[in-house]
Structure 1
Amino acid sequence: MNAKRLTLILTAGAATAAVAYAQLGAYTQESLNSSATGRTFLEVLSDLNKYYLHPIDQEKLLRGAITGAIGSLDDQFTYYSEPADTAIDSENLNGEFYGIGVQLIAANSDGTGGKIDNVFRGGSAASAGVQIGDTFQKIGDEDVSTKKLNDIVRLVRGEKGTTVNVTFARDGKSYVVKMERQPVTIVSVEQTVLPGNIGYIALNTFYNAKVSEQFRAAVADMKKKNVKGLILDLRDNGGGLLNAGVDVADQFLQSGPVVSLRDRAGKTVVYGTAKPATTDYTGPLVVLVNKNSASASEVVSGALQDDARAKIIGEQTFGKGVAQTPIDGLPDGGKVAIVSNEWLTPKGRQIHKKGITPDVVVTDTRSTQPLNFTGGGLKAGDKVTLTVAGKPVTVTADKDGKFSYTGEAARPPRSAAQGEAVVDVNTDAILKAGLAQFK
């Protein structure tokens, strides 16, 4: 086992990893046999293999046991990741892989399938004419229309210079393209300059080893442009590496603690301390947050709020005030993330399940709830046609005579150039309130 870092917010020390290994390693055959529950566990596994009617996938059975053990903690932030998902996660964390240059979202309401959310200039997909909204039908000869999103990603990515054939659907018609896998760098920082010469930097995630480098470059660019103020947008940023969060906060703070960690014994230590640097941005600063701003985003906004360095504007944040130790390099290639610390703001605030209250509370207006309806009382297979926004929508009743419809949510504006931010002040109430702070 190798606990390299407390990600999703924290970098792990060797002592923490050693304790975790010792505790997990305590469950030997002998220790399981020494308790009634342990003996029951072993006997149930044996009986399943002996009596179950159908062949048993041993790997699936044991992974189910691992997932069940973790699930008994009733802690959404302690989890096991299977080897295939861990490999994709590792590529995302490194910020580099070989692919076709697109962003994907789920195509179906149950979270399956894949749909193009953005196509980046210079990539294979852009050269092949792939467009936003196209959905994956096949990769090679394999039907992926109902596959998990990570399965689709895994099939699309591959070795440098190899090719992949993808069948897409657009407006009900299919087309096939052959694309070469080329280097892709995940850019997690977007920037632009707003009216009044106000700089704008959106940080989409801290779960990217290149975040600190990309963010420093964006801040340096804003300083070169001599902006009169700066807006840091942390909306929908679910967190990531704690050291990246500390580094971002440090570029706006001159001194003092950024975040402290408390273990289960109650011991609290300062994890990050701000230090002055010539590269720091010292001008007026506003931070935008919403209900999806979590973890490292809350570390940054909490530190800047406690120091009165920035005005926090938006919605109450998510409230993830705990940190996980990821133990990767497990024998099966998977990873387990274990909640091992809680973190505190510089003034000692514990924000878990509470969040951070903005200095100015504003509702996020960028996305509206799509039209949806449900009904029943029909025969299986019956169709109902309703007029939605001037267009006919037909739904089919299921075997129980029920039907439902969910309209597609409006897609926020995105740039095809990585690192370039696209915003709409007129429809974005939080951004508008942020700009107003500089008047």
Structure 2
Amino acid sequence: MKPNGKIALVLLGVTSTLAIGYAQLRSYQSSTQTGGSAQEQTFREIYNAIKSEYLTPVEERKLWEGAISGMIGALNDQFTYYTPPEDNQFDQQELEGKFFGIGATLTPTNSDGTGASITELMLGMPAQQAGLQVGDKIVKVDGEDVSKLTLNNVVRKIRGAENTKVKLLIQRGTAELTFEITRKQITDYAIYTEILPGNVGYLQVRTFYNRQIFDQMDQAVKSMNDKKVSKLILDLRDNGGGLLCGGIYVADAFLSKGNIVSLKDRTGKETVPGNAFDSTCYGVAKAAKTDFTGKMVVLVNRNSASASEIVAGALQDNGRAQVIGEKTFGKGVAQDVISDLPDGGKLSLVSNEWLTPKGTSIHKKGITPDVAVEDNRFPKVVTLEGTGAAPGEKIKMTIGGKELELTADKDGKFTYTQVGERKQPNTANGSRLDLTGDSILKKALEVLK
């Protein structure tokens, strides 16, 4: 039986302090009509004064949006945020792991998070069948330039109703190509597995923000056991977290006893998730015949966060696996999700701090690996910005032995971004993994031997 109760998140994601909107806040307005605290009365008087007397008429919704933005902003907590209705619908698709699209994994093209480039194609899905390739940059969707839109906005435009068509203009090198692709149902896989030379199992958890993770985890571990795998690599790199129960479920697949995680509330009370939280999501490991009991290691990097840190911390504290890689992100709080807001949006509200089995708080600290190895898969990015120069002034500097000349803009500001070249992975023997060039993966194989 899979967890299906109250949703709690341990997710590193993009935050938003946008509006809950007029529909929800009408109830607040009416509740303060008959009195309330001095702060409530002050708020009401300021609101009424702006509505009736401000020189330029203001939409009521904008005032409510500003009020909610300020209220959430006052918490100064990047992990408490409101998701507006349109983004909430997108999040629900991600959470369910099923939607209608083309079957391509996208990442931002630009350093500011905008644009979209293809990094992976799902076999047999429309994008691959149409001839799209890894590295293709999406320039236009149905004739609209998307090169400066955020990645989520690009994805929303590509997804749509089943059997409808989407027209993509792709930049491939110096060429521009047009593809018309029919959307099909896509199942987003949270788990990827492979058998490496020497019958070493490789199990990558790509995200915990996917309800499919429970069944997919069962299938993955069963596959490893059926193939008599005795050594396993659990890869949690670049996994920003997701469902709290997802993290507990994955950790439990490798543990026969011991605590997995505990939660500490605003009063300081610590509890282990159990019946009061979700009848099928326990923070204590239970032995099962389906568990993987062989030798294993866990891979992490600076982008491993939240649920990934719960898993890594549980396996490390219980002495079940060595953790290899970089110090993790350090997101040690959990959010309750209020998803039934009147306007269709949702509120993710930090309500607990979570602790490793040894009672360790990792928030803003991260988990220190047992074997430290720098992740060398991606190029280093050098960025700098400055101000105070005269408009048009030339600024000369040297970075990495390279001489640069920057020009200040009309406000005296200057910026520079340098992205190193990404080396091509050595994917021999049909594996999608670089067994010799990926420094962390290479060290994992050495440790398992």
Which TM-score band applies after superposition, normalised by the shorter structure?
0.7 to 0.9
Look up the match of 1:436: 446
TM-superposed deviation, 1:172? 4.7
SS at match of 1:258: coil
- Does the aligned pair in 1 maintain the 2:32–2:44 contact within 8 Å? no
1:320 aligns with 2:322: no
Look up the match of 1:12: none
Look up the match of 1:146: 148
Residue 36 to residue 323, structure 1, CA distance change in 2 (3 Å):
same
Look up the match of 2:436: 426
- Choose from 339, 354, 372 the match for 2:365: 354
Look up the match of 2:230: 228
Letter in 1 for 2:64: L
TM-superposed deviation, 1:270? 1.6
- Choose from 295, 305, 327 the match for 2:306: 295
TM-score scaled by length of structure 1:
0.84
| CA–CA distance in structure 1, aligned partners of residues 8 and 423 of structure 2 | 32
Letter in 1 for 2:80: T
SS at match of 1:77: coil
Letter in 2 for 1:242: L
| CA–CA distance in structure 2, aligned partners of residues 421 and 214 of structure 1 | 21
| CA–CA distance in structure 2, aligned partners of residues 201 and 220 of structure 1 | 12
Deviations 1:283-306 (A, max 9, x none): 111111122211111111111112
Letter in 1 for 2:433: V
TM-score scaled by length of structure 2:
0.82
Look up the match of 2:355: 344
| CA–CA distance in structure 1, aligned partners of residues 163 and 347 of structure 2 | 33
TM-superposed deviation, 1:240? 0.9
Look up the match of 2:114: 112
Deviations 1:294-332 (A, max 9, x none): 111111111111211111112222222211001102111
| CA–CA distance in structure 1, aligned partners of residues 192 and 445 of structure 2 | 17
| CA–CA distance in structure 2, aligned partners of residues 42 and 142 of structure 1 | 43
TM-superposed deviation, 1:374? 6.9
- Choose from 353, 365, 368 the match for 2:376: 365
- Does the aligned pair in 2 maintain the 1:316–1:357 contact within 8 Å? yes
Give 5+ residue unaligned stretches, structure 1: 10-23
SS at match of 1:277: coil
Look up the match of 1:406: 417
Letter in 2 for 1:427: G
SS at match of 2:348: strand
| CA–CA distance in structure 2, aligned partners of residues 176 and 276 of structure 1 | 53
- Does the aligned pair in 2 maintain the 1:328–1:334 contact within 8 Å? yes
| CA–CA distance in structure 2, aligned partners of residues 412 and 330 of structure 1 | 47
- Choose from 232, 243, 246 the match for 2:245: 243
- Does the aligned pair in 2 maintain the 1:262–1:341 contact within 8 Å? yes
SS at match of 1:44: helix
TM-superposed deviation, 1:76? 1.1
Look up the match of 1:335: 346
Letter in 1 for 2:322: K
| CA–CA distance in structure 1, aligned partners of residues 51 and 144 of structure 2 | 32
- Choose from 146, 157, 160 the match for 2:159: 157
Deviations 1:241-293 (A, max 9, x none): 11111111111111222112222223322212211111111111111112221
Deviations 1:356-415 (A, max 9, x none): 222222222222314667799797699x9x9x999xx99987445765453445558799
Look up the match of 1:17: none
| CA–CA distance in structure 1, aligned partners of residues 297 and 105 of structure 2 | 28
Deviations 1:117-150 (A, max 9, x none): 3232322222333233333333224332322222
- Does the aligned pair in 2 maintain the 1:67–1:79 contact within 8 Å? no
- Does the aligned pair in 1 maintain the 2:426–2:435 contact within 8 Å? no
TM-superposed deviation, 1:192? 1.9
Structural mapping, 1:76-155, within 5 Å: 76-155=78-157
Residue 50 to residue 147, structure 1, CA distance change in 2 (3 Å):
farther
- Does the aligned pair in 2 maintain the 1:312–1:358 contact within 8 Å? yes
Letter in 2 for 1:94: E
Letter in 2 for 1:299: I
Letter in 1 for 2:254: F
Look up the match of 1:197: 199
Residue 131 to residue 408, structure 1, CA distance change in 2 (3 Å):
farther
Percent sequence identity over matched residues?
Answer: 47
SS at match of 1:41: helix
| CA–CA distance in structure 2, aligned partners of residues 176 and 90 of structure 1 | 30
- Does the aligned pair in 2 maintain the 1:202–1:421 contact within 8 Å? no
TM-superposed deviation, 1:203? 0.9
| CA–CA distance in structure 1, aligned partners of residues 441 and 411 of structure 2 | 46
SS at match of 1:152: helix
- Does the aligned pair in 2 maintain the 1:98–1:157 contact within 8 Å? yes
Look up the match of 1:42: 44
TM-superposed deviation, 1:5? 1.1
- Does the aligned pair in 2 maintain the 1:234–1:297 contact within 8 Å? yes
| CA–CA distance in structure 2, aligned partners of residues 182 and 415 of structure 1 | 32
Look up the match of 1:14: none
Look up the match of 1:206: 208
TM-superposed deviation, 1:432? 2.0
Letter in 2 for 1:347: K
| CA–CA distance in structure 2, aligned partners of residues 174 and 50 of structure 1 | 54
- Does the aligned pair in 1 maintain the 2:377–2:422 contact within 8 Å? no
Letter in 2 for 1:305: Q
Give 5+ residue unaligned stretches, structure 2: 12-24, 274-281
Residue 140 to residue 355, structure 1, CA distance change in 2 (3 Å):
same
| CA–CA distance in structure 2, aligned partners of residues 337 and 96 of structure 1 | 22
Structural mapping, 1:254-333, within 5 Å: 254-271=256-273, 272=282, 273-333=284-344
Letter in 1 for 2:252: D
Residue 77 to residue 45, structure 1, CA distance change in 2 (3 Å):
same
| CA–CA distance in structure 2, aligned partners of residues 285 and 410 of structure 1 | 32
